């Protein structure tokens, strides 16, 4: 079973983040620029929340708020669900499914070392299944 650490070694450790006092408008603009669906909210290098397109649509758009005057801290998700590097892809998928979330920051102790999305996990599972299928086909035909 592939671990989150192994997944991050392939995917990379890049994480886009904002401060709690950042406007939601600037956060959404950063998500669009970087083509990501979520940002980690950091305060003094500590993870304090997550903001995603989901929070924007539910907490700003549907409530008629202004993204330029609403601070990220007002809509970010807390407490933060996170993954540890030694967790398996399957464990993270189960957590994300159970808690209905699409992004998990990866923390090694208190240090943020990456982020995984449900899409990253699905790709890893599919790649693993394809490898198993190829191995079985080679075994059968050998």
Question: Are 104 and 15 spatial neighbours (Cβ–Cβ below 8 Å)?
Answer: no
Residue 124 to residue 67: CA distance in whole angstroms: 35
Please provide residue 139's backbone torsions phi and psi, each rounded to the nearest 5 degrees. -65, -45
Residue 47 to residue 60: CA distance in whole angstroms: 22
Q: Decide if pLDDT at 28 tops 80.
A: yes
Structural domains counted in the chain = 1
Q: How far is CA 112 from the centre of its chain?
A: 12
Q: How confident is the model at residue 135 (pLDDT cuts 50, 70, 90)?
A: confident
Residue 42 to residue 140: CA distance in whole angstroms: 52
Please report the pLDDT score of residue 106 as a whole number: 98
Please report the pLDDT score of residue 138 as a whole number: 83
What CATH number corresponds to the domain at position 95? 3.10.580.10
Residue ranges making up the domain that contains 28: 4-141
89-108 tens-digit pLDDT: 999 999 999 999 999 999 99
Q: Which residue has the higher pLDDT, 36 or 1?
A: 36
């Amino acid at each position: 079973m592939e671990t989150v650490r192994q997944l991050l070694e392939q995917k990379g450790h890049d994480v886009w983040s904002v401060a709690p006092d950042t406007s939601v408008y600037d956060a959404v603009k950063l998500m669009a620029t970087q083509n990501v669906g979520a940002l980690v909210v950091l305060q003094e290098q500590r993870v304090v929340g997550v903001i995603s397109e989901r929070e924007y649509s539910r907490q700003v758009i549907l409530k008629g708020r202004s993204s330029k005057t609403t601070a990220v801290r007002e809509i970010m998700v807390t407490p933060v669900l996170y993954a540890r590097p030694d967790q398996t892809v399957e464990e993270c998928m189960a957590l994300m499914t159970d808690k209905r979330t699409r992004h998990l920051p990866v923390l090694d102790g208190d240090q943020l070392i990456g982020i995984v999305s449900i899409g990253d996990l699905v790709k890893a599972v599919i790649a693993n299944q394809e490898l198993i299928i190829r191995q079985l086909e080679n075994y059968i035909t050998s």
